[in-house]
Amino acid sequence: MSNPLLQDWAGPHGLPPFADIAPAHFQPAFDAALAAHRAEIDAIATQAEPPSFANTLAAFDASGRLLTRLEHLFYTLAASATSPELQAQQRALAAPLAEHGSAVYMHQGLFARVDALFEQRERLGLTSEQRRLLERVHLDFLRAGARLAPEARARYAAVMARLAELNTRFAQNVLASESDYQLRLTTEDELAGLPGFVRAAARQAAVDRGLGELDGGGVHVITLSRSLIVPFLSFSARRDLREQAWRAWVGRGDATGGTDNREICREILELRAEQARLHGHACYADYALEDTMARSQGAVMGLLERVWHPAVSAQAREREAVQGAMAAAGATHALEPWDWRFFAEQARRARFELDEAEVKPYFALDRMVAAMFDCAGRLFGLRFKARPDIAGYHADVRAYEVCDADGALRGLFMQDNFARPTKRSGAWMNALRNQSRALGATPVILNNNNFARGAAGEPTLLSFDDVRTLFHEFGHGLHGLLSSVEYERLAGTQVLRDFVELPSQLYEHWMAEPQVLKQFARHWQTDAPLPDALLAKLQAARQFGQGYETLRYTASAIVDMAAHALPAAPADVVAFERDTLAKWQLPAEVGMNHRLTHFQHLFSSAGYAAGYYVYLWAEVLDCDAFDAFVEAGNVFDPAVAARLRDCILSAGNSVEPGEAFRAFRGRDPVVEPMLKDRGLLPA
């Protein structure tokens, strides 16, 4: 029986035959891909010719093509369209794939060639991009343990294999706890306070879970998808149900049973501490920050502290408004975390005469997708052509061919917008194929969101926060689509972690621009544009709640950094989290964006470990960068947009990020625009 994963992928734009792929195909395909890559690495390392850029660096960058395409596909399906069978494959393959990565980057023959070229880099006559590739690949080898003593290399490889297994278990536990939870609402009393758009989304969630016929078809389901749980907590008049839903949401991974992540978190932290020690660092945070713009814990904590204190003051002012709303409603109970969003919504409504139920009909998903495409066209000359004939891995996936203004193909953009039980929570961008001129590769970029699907026959309506998420992920998508580099290792979003959020967060600014909203925010039933009065209310209310949201984010970043700054894992991660928040005096009603036991940024991979601060770091960059458009007097200024494209979006990792920002802005970034944008500057 032939394996479709090992055949030529003859779909449009080189896509795999999604419909023909079964989980059982992956193990033999990976076996073949790993063997092929090992042979390629050995051939590069043992060739008779002395090392050169072409026969070592370029050859290494071009190696492992079958493995790379399999990994992109496998991790895409595991995150977006999983199944028990695929999860079993993921668990089985986690350690072997990690062991292969260690074998490649600890290959002493290959490293000797890379190291020799690195030592000669000044004399090789390299282009700036070639030198950047050499420097980055050499650092990749060092950070993977290539220079460790033999016994230490063996232990390091074992640590990485075990971490891969734990990361997989952690992510699968979070998905299981999210997928298993259903708050069923069957009576009008249980639905009290919920506006029509929340009811419609909850009704559709019931249908999607096969519960559409229960109770005469009247059942509604609240899931732990952010696009459903947050509106429920904001509008439900049933305080007992809000508490129940809130406890389920914040308690993911923190309960006995099959989805308990507490010990997994502890072991991951312990192994990361050992990983850092093997590199000669006192803690994992020091190891992780060595290859960032921030460079040190002191720089990170300095930024977090600068934001924390004004956010505390802002949240105290917001608390007064929330408690005023409670008093107006006759509530005499203490303010609890499950009360905040409900009474904050009432306070916002009273102060700004702004009702989310009045706003949301103007933000239909299809129109907001059109808005983000239009902005990309105005800024960068991109054109998007819907390709409904191109099938994805799920019926929800939509495909678009992307061309430059001159008609030249730029790549394929795919979008998967809806929450479902087989998809992990959150929102993210990934590449099914990265851009590379050397490989003749155009990018295939995927955006995933988790919006609550609208009822049958009606559009999906987004909150203002959902629209921001949509634009955010598309900013990452543009980073991948506009990449224009020679070598795959330097393409698109493969930049330093605290630089990668600059394009995504910068693109968020356009979603709130009045000229964009006036054109695309139209009532889904009447087609009437967003009224000027309502737009003015949205703008006036934009910074309300920023103290609360800033503290939630910053608390998560602080706990992340504190946990990874330890020389060894805490005995009890939940107690450590609680004690850290108490030390910083986080108000009890605020909480964190992510608790450790479901903090996928930290524990489903190492991508953001000791790095959740990067969103704030990048916000300094993005607010300052957007000011370049403001200063030009036109948020679509063509000269500024061209500079942004050339200096940052197209450059990928071919240029050091500080240098790239200075080339765009003409100077280093300043923090004041970010503080102003969040309303955290002193009055």
Which sequence spans correspond to the domains of the chain?
4-147, 181-250, 284-340+544-677, 360-526
Separation of alpha carbons 170 and 363, rounded Å: 35
pLDDT of residue 214: 64
Reported as a pLDDT band with limits 50, 70 and 90, residue 357 is: confident
Of 217 and 677, more confident = 677
With a cut of 80, say whether residue 383 has pLDDT above it: yes
Contact present, 453 and 421 (Cβ < 8 Å) = no
Residue 409 in 3-state DSSP? Answer: strand
pLDDT of residue 215: 62
Give the global pTM: 0.96
User: Tokens standing for 339?
Assistant: 């009360």
> CB-based contacts of 681: which residues, under 8 Å, 6+ apart?
310, 672, 675
Catalytic residues: 473
Report how many helices (DSSP H) and strands (DSSP E) the chain contains, helices first. Answer: 27, 7
- List C-alpha distances in Å: 305 to 499, 505, 593, 608: 20, 21, 17, 19
Q: Nearest 5°: phi and psi at 110?
A: -70, -45
Share of the chain above pLDDT 90, in %: 95
Going by their DSSP bridges, the two strands 428-433 and 383-386 should be labelled as: unpaired
Q: What would the mean pLDDT of 136-146 be, rounded to a whole number? A: 98
How many CB atoms within 10 Å of residue 249? 23
Nearest to 570 by CA among 603, 544, 593, 596: 596
Element (H, E) at 183: strand 183-185
- List C-alpha distances in Å: 112 to 42, 316, 407, 512: 12, 58, 45, 52
Separation of alpha carbons 156 and 172, rounded Å: 25
Reported as a pLDDT band with limits 50, 70 and 90, residue 413 is: very high
Separation of alpha carbons 190 and 209, rounded Å: 19
Residue 221 in 3-state DSSP? Answer: strand
With a cut of 90, say whether residue 30 has pLDDT above it: yes
pLDDT of residue 595: 98
pLDDT of residue 423: 96
pLDDT of residue 318: 97
pLDDT of residue 216: 62
Q: What would the mean pLDDT of 93-119 be, rounded to a whole number? A: 98
User: Tokens standing for 394?
Assistant: 């799920």
With a cut of 70, say whether residue 527 has pLDDT above it: yes
Burial status of residue 550 (CB atoms within 10 A of its CB: 0-12, 13-18, 19 or more): buried
Beta strand segments in 190-301, E = 220-222
Nearest to 387 by CA among 8, 5, 13: 13
Is-same-fold flag (4-147; 360-526)?
A: no
- List C-alpha distances in Å: 143 to 288, 490, 602: 10, 17, 18
With a cut of 80, say whether residue 499 has pLDDT above it: yes
| Residues in the chain, total | 683
With a cut of 70, say whether residue 343 has pLDDT above it: yes
SS (H, E, C) 384-408: EEECCCCCCCCCCCEEEEEECCCCC
| Four-residue CA torsion sign, 459, 464, 466, 471 | positive
> CB-based contacts of 569: which residues, under 8 Å, 6+ apart?
266, 267, 268, 269, 270, 273
Taking every pair of Cα atoms in the chain, the longest distance, rounded to a whole number of angstroms, is 84
Third-level CATH fold of 360-526? Neurolysin; domain 3 (1.10.1370)
Mean pLDDT score of the chain: 96
With a cut of 70, say whether residue 683 has pLDDT above it: no
Contact present, 483 and 402 (Cβ < 8 Å) = no
> CB-based contacts of 423: which residues, under 8 Å, 6+ apart?
79, 80, 81, 82, 416, 448, 450
With a cut of 90, say whether residue 213 has pLDDT above it: no
Q: Which CATH class for the 284-340+544-677 domain? A: mainly alpha
575-621: per-residue pLDDT in tens?
A: 999 999 999 999 999 999 999 999 999 999 999 999 999 999 999 99
pLDDT of residue 255: 86
Q: What would the mean pLDDT of 313-335 be, rounded to a whole number? A: 97
Alpha carbon dihedral 103, 105, 106, 110, in 10-degree steps, equals: 110
Beta strand segments in 538-674, E = none
Separation of alpha carbons 354 and 372, rounded Å: 25
pLDDT of residue 217: 66
What's the CATH superfamily of 4-147? Endopeptidase. Chain P; domain 1 (1.20.1050.40)
Separation of alpha carbons 89 and 76, rounded Å: 14
